[in-house]
Amino acid sequence: MAAAIKAKVFQTENTVALARNLIGTRLVIAPAQGEPIARRITETEAYHGEEDLACHARRGRTARTEVMYAAGGVWYVYLCYGVHEMLNLVTGPRDRPCAVLIRGVEGLTGPGRLTRALGIDRRFNGRAASVATGLWIEDDGFRPAPRQILATPRVGVDYAGPHWAGRKWRFVWPAGHDGTRHSRSSSEA
């Protein structure tokens, strides 16, 4: 049964594990008019607090990063390169600035591409990931088999130095990018 994942789940101490766990869940957006659109998440990245030099919160609280200090379960959407809206889910307990960047969903590779295709922008910044706000994440029990999920270094964060840029905190489900189903290897929650 598909159910919206609750904020409490997002408030875990282990954002890296959560980023991996979100692979295969469904990102759902309910437009002002028309049917909701749901696509399985195929690519994520974890950002882990002020100590993580790749994380926007590496310099502490600022106008932009303030939303990351909220308790997990709200969206953090910012404009990248003056062009692309980047969708992140704030995670962790209150005052712990962690987040998961949604980098890809079925049929839509790339963080900037998926937001453009789904009509997601900074209006969602600071809003809850819930049915009420029209953008949420759903768990229907399906997950790719663990060995189908790849862990790689995060993209575009070389500025963080080898120690942080080298962490394999990006998770990819390659087969999911083309919408292919692999029921034989799917697992139950």
> Is residue 47 part of the contact set for DNA (CB under 7 A)?
yes
> Is residue 78 part of the contact set for DNA (CB under 7 A)?
yes
Cβ 42 to DNA shortest distance, Å = 13
Could you tell me how many residues of this chain bind DNA (CB under 7 A)? 32
> Is residue 113 part of the contact set for DNA (CB under 7 A)?
yes
Q: Exactly one of 13, 62, 94, 119 binds DNA (CB under 7 A); which one?
A: 62
> Is residue 1 part of the contact set for DNA (CB under 7 A)?
no
Of 115, 15, 118, 120, which Cα lies nearest the Cα of 73? 15
Task: Pull the structure tokens for residue 42.
Answer: 């195929």
Binding mask 129-168 for DNA (x = CB under 7 A): -------------------------xxxx-x---------
Q: Which is nearer to DNA, 143 or 154 (CB)?
A: 154
> Is residue 45 part of the contact set for DNA (CB under 7 A)?
yes
> Is residue 110 part of the contact set for DNA (CB under 7 A)?
yes
Q: Exactly one of 29, 37, 79, 131 binds DNA (CB under 7 A); which one?
A: 79
**Residue 185 neighbours by CB under 8 Å, 6+ apart:** 144, 145, 148
Cβ 69 to DNA shortest distance, Å = 12
Name the site residues for DNA (rule: CB under 7 A). Answer: 45, 47, 54-57, 59, 62-65, 76, 78-84, 86, 88, 99, 101, 110-113, 154-157, 159
